[in-house]
Amino acid sequence: MRLTVTSHLTLDGVMQSNGKPEPELNDGFEQGGWQVPYFDDDMDRLTADWIAAADAFLLGRRTYELFATYWSQVTDPGDPRATRLNALPKHVVSTTLDQVPWNNSILLRGDLAAEVAALKRQPGNELQVHGSATLIRTLMKHDLIDEYRLLIHPVVLGSGKRLFGDGTTPAALELIGTKTTSRGVVAHIYQPSGKPEYGSAAAEQEGDVVTDSVSRQAAT
């Protein structure tokens, strides 16, 4: 299976509490639910199509708890997200949970990189990660992500937990697709393309003429 990551982000990279306020976290973030005003038919179709490609899910503890609380209550057989999220295997990464009662949920407690690599070797289409910022950064570190689906919303919050926070493993990405919704959300679809490249821009003297020169070099 391919491992894909889907994340809703603000223009300044915040991913925290996009779906609803979460005062129970008691972390001072007061702008929860920022994604909801941008949900339209375009995003509905886009995210439903992505979910339809899943054969299993990989979730961090916090995302698992949020999803289990919400989606387990949605029993409409015509809802493509609910039917797949409730029925398909959900592999949960946690060192604190003792049980995962949501239907077809499995705790992962061993070596995460080895466990996920083994899941990817299983037959199927996609192993999907939704939310789960800490988990995503760990997967990046071990080069386990095959595709990023980043939904960038036209809003700046100025605070909140970011997907690519300090300590994220440097990576270069190749843009393979872009979709825009009627409310201005832009979905950028990327695949990993190795390490970042770095360079320098400097003015160079060529006789009496000064030219702009840019050089690049790959990361080592």
Query: pLDDT of 2-41, one tens digit each?
Result: 999 999 999 999 999 888 887 767 778 889 899 999 999 9
> Residue 188, SS3?
strand
Q: What is the pLDDT of residues 136-168, one digit of tens each?
A: 999 999 999 999 999 999 999 999 999 998 999
Chain mean position to CA 106: 20
Q: Which of 20, 44, 45 is nearest to 30 (CA)?
A: 20
Q: Which amino acid is at 99?
A: Q
Average pLDDT score, the chain: 91
Q: DSSP H helical segments within 32-171, as ranges?
A: 41-52, 61-71, 80-87, 112-120, 133-141
In the chain, % of residues over pLDDT 90:
74
**Full set of structural domains in the chain with CATH:** 2-218 (3.40.430.10)
The 3 state secondary structure assigned to the chain is CEEEEEEEEECCCECCCCCCCCHHHCCCCCCCCCCHHHCCHHHHHHHHHHHHCEEEEEEEHHHHHHHHHHHCCCCCCCCHHHHHHHHCCEEEECCCCCCCCCCCEEEECCCHHHHHHHHHCCCCCEEEEECCHHHHHHHHHCCCCCEEEEEEECCCCCCCCECCCCCCCCCCEEEEEEEECCCCCEEEEEEECCCCEEEEEEEEEECCEEEEEEEEEECC
For the whole model, what pTM was predicted?
0.89
What phi and psi, each to the nearest 5 degrees, are found at residue 210?
A: -105, 125
**Could you report the per-residue pLDDT of 52-111, keeping only the tens digit for each?**
999 999 999 989 998 999 999 999 988 889 999 999 999 999 989 999 999 999 999 889
